[in-house]
């Protein structure tokens, strides 16, 4: 029987799919492309029109156990590689990612829906982590300590922790893998990657490039699962004693479940969870700069990022000016549609449940008295999952949208007068991933930066993440940091070595 992918080519021979040599429809375990042992598959859809791109294996806990065995076996030899060998391997993987950047971007756009411009930016951003960790692998050093006794030598060794399970989301299917896997491999760990059921094709494309780069069998494994099997597969990765580290990016409720499941094996865990980022515009700010930052920070990936500006707080004296200029930029700069088409800047939301949630929140707010400045509705002429860029003001605590992480193209904008008041509002939620504020008052910049309860802050800047910086949050936004020199720490054990009775 012909796969749905081949049928699509026969029906549409001009399709750009013909050039996508990295589009794989099998899982990758122990250096082999394999189906599920159950022979079951699930469809991967293009969110623009819900068309099926291809089918991929629906891996079970039996398949996952095989992947764990593969990664554990590979670790015994891979842990002995030198930092230079791992650096070269990562560099080769990076070079292939750069070489195939356009194809990776096309696959990403097909399964995620974001525009090609945004996909290209993500590929470049995601590639940078592999480049960074190819260099960082050679900077994982131990320590020589000053001994309290003359006949002793004390040292600290840093060693790879073991098999690492990496559970990644759909909103950045390339960058979330490279940011985790680059660090794990640099440390000398082997990996089992479980991508989102919505966007597994990018993960499989990265596995193909890792295979081409010469990664030993079992060092990188990719298991694809439908929503039906996702929870049981995730539970096995958490509870298996052969998996020694788990890194997850996703929602706070799911992160809490995984955290609890990892307790049985006292596993090293890294969690990058939900955010609800405040975006504050103070009286002494450049409104034009703030609007530019708000456009990037709020509407990137159609508002579906964990660091998206979610709660806008604008000083009364800047409020009307900001609203007017923000609306003008939305009207001028945003063109929604099929992300693969020229000139389109923003695509659909990822699934129907997300559109339903956003619509419900907006309708509830408007019904209860919020002012709708623009948007507020589905764009069904574009497709089933499009929602118009929306601005709401006069939102109060009676409305469900107030203080909620929206994960859509909706900006809720509040007024404020007092610095202490707005900091209190910004800190009023249980999460603390990112925060943004605009001010040209140097004293205020340092005051507010010190008070905001978040792990990352953009001051007069709306896009802040890069490979060199530590990415992560505080409170219920997670544990650990990704990227930067700190990114390898979750994949390393520290071993203290005391050599005594040395004769001089």
Ranges of H-type helices in 280-418: 287-299, 316-333, 352-367
**Which fold, 4-273+481-493?**
Aldehyde Dehydrogenase; Chain A, domain 1 (3.40.605)
Any residues with CB less than 8 A from the CB of 17 and at least 6 apart, and which?
5, 8, 9, 23, 53, 110
Q: How far apart are CA 220 and CA 211, in angstroms?
A: 9
Query: Quick check: is 283 catalytic?
Result: no
Query: Quick check: is 359 catalytic?
Result: no
Q: What is the dihedral of CA 500, 501, 502, 504, to 10 degrees?
A: 150
**pLDDT tens string for the chain (504 positions)?**
233 333 333 333 334 444 689 999 999 999 999 999 999 999 999 999 999 999 999 999 999 999 999 999 999 999 999 999 999 999 999 999 999 999 999 999 999 999 999 999 999 999 999 999 999 999 999 999 999 999 999 999 999 999 999 999 999 999 999 999 999 999 999 999 999 999 999 999 999 999 999 999 999 999 999 999 999 999 999 999 999 999 999 999 999 999 999 999 999 999 999 999 999 999 999 999 999 999 999 999 999 999 999 999 999 999 999 999 999 999 999 999 999 999 999 999 999 999 999 999 999 999 999 999 999 999 999 999 999 999 999 999 999 999 899 999 999 999 999 999 999 999 999 999 999 999 999 999 999 999 999 999 999 999 999 999 999 999 999 999 999 999 999 999 999 999 999 998
Location of structure tokens 């409020």: 319
> Cα angle at 421 between 420 and 425, to 5 degrees?
115
CB 215 within 8 A of CB 89: yes
Q: How far apart are CA 112 and CA 273, in angstroms?
A: 20
Task: List the domain boundaries for the chain.
Answer: 4-273+481-493, 277-467
Q: How far apart are CA 112 and CA 305, in angstroms?
A: 12
* CATH 3.40.309.10 given to domain 277-467: yes
Nearest partner of 400 among 440, 432, 365, judged by Cα? 365
Which residue in 131, 136, 197, 272 is the catalytic one? 272
């Amino acid at each position: 029987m012909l796969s749905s992918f081949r049928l699509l080519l026969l029906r549409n021979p001009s399709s750009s799919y013909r050039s996508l040599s990295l589009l794989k429809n099998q899982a990758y375990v122990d250096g082999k492309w394999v189906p599920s042992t159950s022979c079951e598959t699930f469809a991967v859809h293009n969110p623009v029109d819900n068309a099926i791109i291809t089918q991929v294996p629906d891996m079970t806990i039996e398949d996952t156990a095989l992947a764990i065995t593969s990664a554990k076996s590979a670790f015994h030899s891979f842990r002995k590689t030198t930092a230079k060998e791992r650096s070269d391997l990562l560099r080769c993987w990076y070079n292939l990612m750069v070489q195939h950047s356009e194809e990776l971007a096309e696959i990403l756009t097909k399964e995620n829906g974001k525009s090609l411009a945004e996909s290209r930016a993500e590929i470049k951003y995601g590639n940078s982590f592999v480049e960074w960790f190819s260099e960082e692998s050679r900077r994982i050093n131990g320590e020589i300590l000053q001994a309290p006794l003359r006949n002793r030598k004390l040292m600290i060794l840093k060693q790879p922790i073991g098999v690492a399970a990496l559970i990644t989301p759909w909103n950045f299917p390339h960058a979330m893998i490279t940011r985790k896997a680059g660090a794990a491999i640099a440390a000398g760990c082997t990996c089992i990657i479980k991508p989102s059921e919505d966007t597994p094709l990018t993960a499989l494309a990265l596995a193909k490039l890792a295979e081409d780069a010469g990664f030993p069998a079992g060092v990188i494994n990719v298991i694809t699962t439908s929503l039906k099997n996702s929870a049981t597969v995730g539970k096995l990765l958490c509870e298996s004693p052969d998996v020694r580290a788990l890194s997850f990016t996703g929602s706070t409720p799911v992160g809490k479940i995984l955290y609890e499941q990892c307790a049985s094996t006292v596993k090293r865990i890294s969690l990058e969870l939900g955010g609800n980022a405040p975006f504050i515009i103070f009286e002494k700010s450049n409104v034009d700069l703030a609007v530019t930052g708000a456009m990037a920070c709020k509407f990137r990936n159609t508002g579906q990022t964990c660091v998206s500006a979610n709660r806008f707080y604008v000083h009364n004296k800047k409020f009307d000016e900001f609203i007017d200029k923000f609306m003008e930029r939305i009207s001028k700069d945003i063109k929604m549609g099929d992300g693969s088409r020229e000139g389109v800047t923003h695509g659909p939301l990822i699934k129907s449940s997300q559109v339903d949630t956003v619509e419900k929140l907006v309708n509830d707010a408007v019904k209860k008295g919020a002012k709708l400045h623009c948007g507020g509705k589905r764009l069904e002429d574009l497709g089933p999952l499009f929602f118009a860029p929306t601005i709401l003001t006069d939102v109060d605590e009676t409305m469900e949208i107030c203080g909620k992480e929206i994960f859509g193209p909706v900006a809720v904008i509040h007024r404020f007068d007092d610095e202490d008041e707005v900091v209190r509002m910004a800190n009023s939620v249980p999460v603390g991933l990112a925060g943004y504020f605009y001010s040209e008052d140097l004293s205020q910049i340092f005051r507010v930066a010190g008070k905001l309860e978040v792990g990352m802050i953009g001051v007069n800047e709306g896009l802040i993440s890069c490979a060199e910086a530590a990415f992560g949050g505080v409170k219920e936004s997670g544990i650990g940091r990704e990227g930067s020199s700190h990114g390898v720490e979750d994949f390393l054990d520290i071993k203290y070595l005391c050599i005594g009775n040395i004769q001089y």
